Amino acid sequence: MDKIFLNELAFYGYHGVYGEEQKLGQRFIVDLVLFVDLTQAGKTDDLNQTINYGEVYQQVKQIVEGPPFKLVEAVAEKIADELLKTFPLLESCTVKVIKPDPPIVGHYKSVAVEITRARS
């Protein structure tokens, strides 16, 4: 299956279990893999035969910078659900939501969840 990658989309959102996370906010990074047949797009050079990356970015931005969720799992699920609803050519997607600075004591680069969802 052909893939479109959108890597390291950066946003500022207010998701988290703790009150200070929803009050102060924090950075979120999103990686996407969109599974779509790109044959016709490659043959016709027609944007209508693929998925518009700019539209995907704006949709993800609205979710991550929109109303808060407690869990990044819920953020990832919302992104996958909305992308599958919006883009009829999209067969499935992998969504990774990364919290670079969660309120956890210790040494680490980040925490993240990754889900894959397909059209039903």
Q: Where are the domains of the chain?
A: 3-118
pLDDT < 70 stretches in the chain? none
CA distance 9 to 98: 10
CATH number of 3-118: 3.30.1130.10
Amino acid at 77: E
CA distance 101 to 77: 21
pLDDT computed for residue 101 by the predictor:
84
The CA-atom distances, in angstroms, between 83 and each of 38, 77, 110, 119, 120 are 17, 10, 25, 10, 13
pLDDT computed for residue 104 by the predictor:
78
pLDDT computed for residue 102 by the predictor:
80
pTM: 0.95
99 counts as catalytic: yes
End-to-end CA distance of the chain: 17
**Which of the following is catalytic: 3, 43, 96, 99?**
99
pLDDT computed for residue 109 by the predictor:
84
